[in-house]
Amino acid sequence: MSWSRFRRLCAAVLLATGVLTVPGTAQAAPVSCEDVYVPVSILLLPQTVYGRLCTPEGARTVMVLVPGSTYTSHYWDIDTRPENSFRRSMNQAGLATLTVDRLGTGRSSKPLSALVSTVTEADAVHGVVQRVRGRFDRVVIGGHSLGSAISILEAGRYRDVAGVLLTGFTPRLDVVSAVPVFASLIPATLEPQFAGLDPGYLTTSPGTRYSSFHAPGVVQEDLIADDERTKSVVSVAEPVDTIVLNNYVLPAALAIRAPVMLVMADGDEHFCGPPLGSDCSSPEALKASEAHYYADGVRLDTYVLRGYGHSFNYAPNAPDYHAAVAIWANSLN
C-alpha cells in the first residue's frame, strides 16, 4: 500500500466519528516561500493584504490563515522555536499555507481604524481567498481567536472554501473572564513601534501577554518574550465586535456548508468553562457543546489541547494539534 493511500485510510478512521483525539504523522516535501500582496477594497477604498505563501512541491490544498487580535502572521510561524510553527507543520504535511496580516497590522495596509471591523476584515480575506483559488484545487480558511470569527464570516457569506479551521474561538465568549484582557489594551500610539497609526488602534500593555494569552500554561520566557516583541494592534471596533459577535457569527456559522474543525485549549478561560463558556473538557464534550451552531449535516471535527491557554501555538505540545489538523485537512475532498 502506498504512503498516501495509507495516510488517507488513517484519516478516514480517525475522522469517522467527527472527533479527533490523536495526532497523525506527515511526510516532508520541498517548500518554496514567497511574499504576496493582494489588492482588496473595504468600503470601496483600495487596500493591500500582505501574506507569506509557502508551497510544498505538488501541494493541491492551500490554507489561508488569519491571526487574532494583536497578532500578525507571525503567530502561525513562530521562528524562535520551529516545532511551534504551525506553518512549518502544515508544509511538512504537504499543505500550502498563506499566512496573512490583518488590515491594520504587519505589512498590510493601515486604513483609518474606524474602517476596520470583523466584517470589513472578512471582506478583505475573501479577496485573498479569491486570489489563490485558481492556483490550488482546494482553499481552506483558518483563524485564531478574532481570526476565527473573521473566517466564519467569510466562509458563511461567500461559501468559497473547502474547509474551515477554527482555533481559540467559539461563539460563547466568557465576557467576565475577557474583561481583564480588554482592560489591558492601550492606544497603540503610546508605543514607538506603532508610530503613525491613529488613536483608534489598540495594543496590549507591556508585560501582560502571559496573563492575557498564555496562562495557565507553563511559563516559557523565550516564547513570552517573542510574543511581546512581535505583538501588533487591533482596532477599537474589533474588541467591541468580539463582545457582540453573535449578531454576525451565529447566522454566518449556520450558513457554512464546508467541513469545520474546531480546536480549543482546555485552559482557555476566555471561551471555555462554566457557566458562560464552552465545554472544552474533551473533544466529545466540545463537539456536543458546539454542534448546534452549525447546520445539520455539516461535518464538525473537534480537538482539545491540554494544559494551555488562549494562544496555544506557543504551547509545548502544540505539535500534537498541528498533526491532527494536518490529518483533517488532508482528508478533505
pLDDT (0 to 100) of residue 172: 86
DSSP 205: P
15: pLDDT strictly greater than 60:
no
CB 294 within 8 A of CB 300: yes
Calpha distance 37→164 (Å, rounded):
23
* Residue among 132, 136, 58 at smallest CA distance from 94: 58
Alpha-carbon dihedral angle through residues 150, 155, 160, 162, given to the nearest 10 degrees:
110
Count CB neighbours of 213 within 10 A.
Answer: 27
Calpha distance 114→237 (Å, rounded):
7
Calpha distance 62→91 (Å, rounded):
10
Pick 177 or 259 by higher pLDDT. Answer: 259
Q: Could you tell me the CATH number of the domain that includes residue 223?
A: 3.40.50.1820
Calpha distance 170→270 (Å, rounded):
10
pLDDT (0 to 100) of residue 19: 59
Q: Give the C-alpha distances (Å, rounded to integers) separating 193 from 196, 197, 231.
A: 9, 10, 10
pLDDT (0 to 100) of residue 8: 40
Domain that holds residue 187: 3-330
Structure-block grid coordinates of residue 241: 465586535
Count CB neighbours of 202 within 10 A.
Answer: 24
Complete DSSP assignment for 67-127: --TT--GGGG--TTSGGG-HHHHHHHTT-EEEEEPPTTSTTS----GGG--HHHHHHHHHH
Based on the structure, what is the number of domains in the chain? 1
Q: Which SS3 state, helix, strand or coil, does residue 167 take?
A: strand
Average model confidence (pLDDT) across the chain: 90
Q: Give the C-alpha distances (Å, rounded to integers) separating 91 from 20, 60, 128.
A: 20, 12, 19
pLDDT tens-digit map of 172-196? 887 777 788 888 899 999 999 999 9
* Residue among 262, 23, 50, 61 at smallest CA distance from 152: 262
Calpha distance 216→309 (Å, rounded):
6
pLDDT tens-digit map of 156-166? 999 999 999 99
> Is 0.95 surpassed by the pTM of this model?
no
Count CB neighbours of 252 within 10 A.
Answer: 23
pLDDT (0 to 100) of residue 21: 47
pLDDT (0 to 100) of residue 217: 97
* Residue among 42, 68, 272 at smallest CA distance from 177: 272
Calpha distance 271→182 (Å, rounded):
14
3: pLDDT strictly greater than 80:
no
